[in-house]
Amino acid sequence: MKNRDVLLTGATGIMGSWVMGEALARGYRPVVLMRDRDHKQARERIATVLDHVGRSDDVDNVRILLGNAGKTCFGLSDPVYSQLRRSVGMLIHCAACTSFSPDQDAQCWSTNVGGVRNVLDFVSHTDIALHHVSTAYLAGKRPGRVYETELSVGQEFSNTYEKSKCEAEMLIQNAFDTGIVKGSIFRPSIIVGSSKDGRILQFMNFYNLLRVIDLLMSRRQREHTILRMVGTPEGTKNLIPVDWAVGAMWHIIEREGASGEVYHLTNPNPMRHGEMQVWVNALLADNRVQMDLVDSLDGDATSLEALFEGRFANYRPYMHGEPVFDRTNTDRALDGAYPFPPVNETYFALLMAYARENGWRSIFERRTTRRTEAPVAMGQQDPSVFEAVHVLA
Who has greater pLDDT, 94 or 297?
Answer: 94
Distance, CA of 357 to CA of 115 (rounded, Å): 35
- Does residue 85 sit within a domain? yes
* Domain identity same for 130 and 103: yes
Residues 292 and 242 in one domain: no
How many CA atoms lie less than 13 Å away from 110 in the CB half-sphere?
8
Among 279, 289, 305, 290, which residue's Cα sits nearest to residue 221? 289
CATH number at 111 reads 3.40.50.720
> According to the model, what pLDDT value does residue 386 have?
47
User: Within a 10 A sphere around the Cβ of 274, how many other Cβ atoms?
Assistant: 14
* pLDDT bucket at 313, cuts 50 / 70 / 90: confident
Give the CA distances from residue 330 to residues 239, 288, 342, in Å, rounded to whole numbers and listed in that order.
Answer: 16, 44, 18
More confident residue, 297 or 273: 273
Together in a domain, 32 and 135: yes
pLDDT, tens digit, for every residue of 209-238?
A: 899 899 889 888 888 889 998 899 999 999
Distance, in Å, from the CA atom of 186 to the CA atom of 134, rounded to the nearest integer, reads 6
- Same domain flag for 209 and 110: no
Comparison of pLDDT for 367 and 242, the residue scoring more? 242
- Convert the pLDDT of each residue in 31-50 to its tens digit: 999 999 999 999 999 999 99
Q: Is 306 among the domain residues?
A: yes
Q: Please give the mean pLDDT across all residues of the chain.
A: 91
Q: Are residues 157 and 49 in the same domain?
A: yes
Q: What is the pLDDT of residue 316?
A: 84
Three-class SS of residue 393? coil
For residue 245, the number of C-alpha atoms closer than 13 Å in the C-beta half-sphere is 30
- Tell me the average pLDDT across 360-384: 59
Rounded to an integer, what distance in angstroms lies between the CA atom of residue 283 and that of residue 280?
Answer: 5
Task: Count CA atoms closer than 13 A to 46's CA, side-chain side.
Answer: 31
Q: Residue 141 falls within a domain, yes or no?
A: yes
- In angstroms, the CA 353 to CA 170 distance is 40
Give, in degrees to the nearest 5, the angle at Cα 365 between 382 and 363: 110
pLDDT of 393 > 80? The answer is no
The secondary structure element, H or E, covering residue 292 is strand 289-294
What pTM, to 2 d.p., does this model score?
Answer: 0.93
- The DSSP annotation for 45-99 comes to HHHHHHHHTT-GGGGGGSEEEE--TTSGGGG--HHHHHHHHHH-SEEEE------
Confidence class for position 377, pLDDT limits 50, 70, 90: very low
- Residue 223 has a pLDDT of 85
DSSP of 16-50: HHHHHHHHHHTT-EEEEEE-SSSHHHHHHHHHHHH
- Inside any domain, residue 300: yes
Confidence at residue 308, expressed as pLDDT on a 0 to 100 scale? 80
In the chain, the percentage of residues whose pLDDT exceeds 90 is 80
**Cα separation of 11 and 30, whole Å?**
9
- Is 177 in the same domain as 35? yes
Count: domains in the chain: 2
Q: What percentage of the chain reaches a pLDDT higher than 70?
A: 93
Residue 77 sits in the same domain as residue 202: no
* Confidence at residue 363, expressed as pLDDT on a 0 to 100 scale: 92
Rounded average pLDDT over 379-383 = 43
Range of the domain at 281: 194-236+270-321+342-392
Residue 328 within any structural domain of the chain: no
Mean pLDDT of the 1-11 span: 90
Q: Are residues 123 and 210 in the same domain?
A: no
**Statement: residue 390 has pLDDT above 70:** no
Which DSSP category does 270 fall into? P
Q: Quick one: 128 and 247 in the same domain?
A: yes
Residue 337 lies in a domain: no
In this structure, are 124 and 203 located in the same domain? Answer: no
In a domain? residue 326:
no
Q: Are residues 21 and 122 in the same domain?
A: yes
- pLDDT at residue 156 greater than cutoff 70: yes
| Digit-coded pLDDT (tens) for 109-154 | 999 999 999 999 999 999 999 999 999 999 999 999 999 999 999 9
CB atoms within 10 A of CB 27: 8
Residues 113, 201: one domain? no
